[in-house]
Amino acid sequence: MRKGRKVTRYIAAYDTERVSAPSCAEACEAIIAAHKRYDMPATFFIVGRALEATPDLYRRLLDDPLFEIASHTYSHRMVRDHPFCGPAASVDTIREQILRGKEVVDRVFPDRRCIGLRPGCSFVDGLKGAAGVLKQVAEAGYEYVSSMAWGPDYTLPAPLNQSFSYADEGFAQIVEYPCHGWHDNVLKSMSKPGFWAEPRRLLAFPPLFPEAIPTGPITTAEDEFRYNSKVFIDRANQSGLDYVSLIWHPWSLALFDPKMRMLDLTFQYVREQGLEPTTYARMHHESVRNTDAN
Ligand SMILES: [Zn+2]
């Protein structure tokens, strides 16, 4: 660890969403094992319906102080228009996505409190300009959203945007924590028909992260580490950013790399480089405490 500069946090996070095989719950077995090997915290954003399908399994896997359980909406419907994932759902459906998603997490994990929401697919501007959605988020009792996961014009990889509040929309108490890098399923061309369209026009020109652009879909865990984890961890760490957090999906990680070798490579690297592993909730609580103290 270098002296005289703050340590960049590292947050492992998973969009945990798929019920049918390969289910995210099954994939979590190997993921959790990797986390335990490295004593590595994580945030799991879980779709309410997926959690309802196998609550006991998720409880057995995730009821551990290492892990934060947050919401990935109730059933992955869009809370605003998205060019690849489809138009926004009706106002009532959006409300259900936000409210019921949190209710399910709170019911399955009664000793925790779900404070974070990551909407399905996320957006280039997060929830900027979406005061109606933020009102539902605030009323449901969330404290943060992680809804910004794309580069300019919905390109990938997503840049290393850092946190901000939605004060301009009238919700200064809601904090945005953007996420970074490739959506791992896209980097592997792993999207499945009916689950996610396969967008092909995805790269910004000129690229913001040339070292993160392979010549085609990657084929090995080492490539995933090299083109995604390492690039963004290095850039965040060298720039002294508050945090870096990649966009991972358990089902896609399991299809590509069932032994979770990429996680081993990434977690080992995080430890070697001296980043501080944490969760979104823990980072949020630290930041709120610091703000209150000022
Ligand atoms: Zn998702």
- State the DSSP string of 42-104: EEEEE-HHHHHHSHHHHHHHH-STTEEEEE--SS---SS-BTTTBS---HHHHHHHHHHHHHH
Kindly give the distance from the C-alpha atom of residue 118 to the centroid of ligand 1, in angstroms, as a whole number: 8
Distance 246 CA to ligand 1 centre (A): 13
The whole-number pLDDT of residue 166 equals 98
Residue 4 pLDDT exceeds 80: no
Tell me the pLDDT band of 200, cut-offs 50, 70 and 90. Answer: low
In a domain, 51, yes or no: yes
DSSP secondary structure letters along 228-271: IIHHHHHHHHHTT-SEE-EEB-HHHHHHH-TT-HHHHHHHHHHH
Number of domains making up the chain:
1
Q: Could you give the CA distance from residue 163 to residue 179 in angstroms, rounded to a whole number?
A: 10
Let me know if residue 53 belongs to a domain: yes
Q: Residue 105 C-alpha to ligand 1 middle, in angstroms?
A: 16
Could you tell me if residue 116 is inside a domain? yes
Q: What is the pLDDT of residues 228-258, one digit of tens each?
A: 999 999 999 999 999 999 999 999 999 999 9
Give the distance (Å) from ligand 1 centre to CA of residue 80: 14
User: What's the domain range around 116?
Assistant: 9-293
**Domain contains 18:** yes
End-to-end alpha carbon distance in the chain = 26
Q: Is residue 1 part of a domain?
A: no
Compute the average pLDDT of residues 38-43.
98
* Residue 49 within a domain: yes
In a domain, 199, yes or no: yes
Please write the tens of the pLDDT for every residue from 49-101: 999 999 999 999 999 999 999 999 999 999 999 998 999 999 999 999 999 99
* Closest by CA position to 274, among listed 10, 74, 20, 98: 10
- Whether residue 3 lies inside any domain: the answer is no
| Token representation of residue 107 | 């019911």
CATH code (residue 239): 3.20.20.370
82 Cα to the center of ligand 1, angstroms = 13
Question: Measured in angstroms, how far is the CA atom of residue 170 from the centroid of ligand 1?
Answer: 27
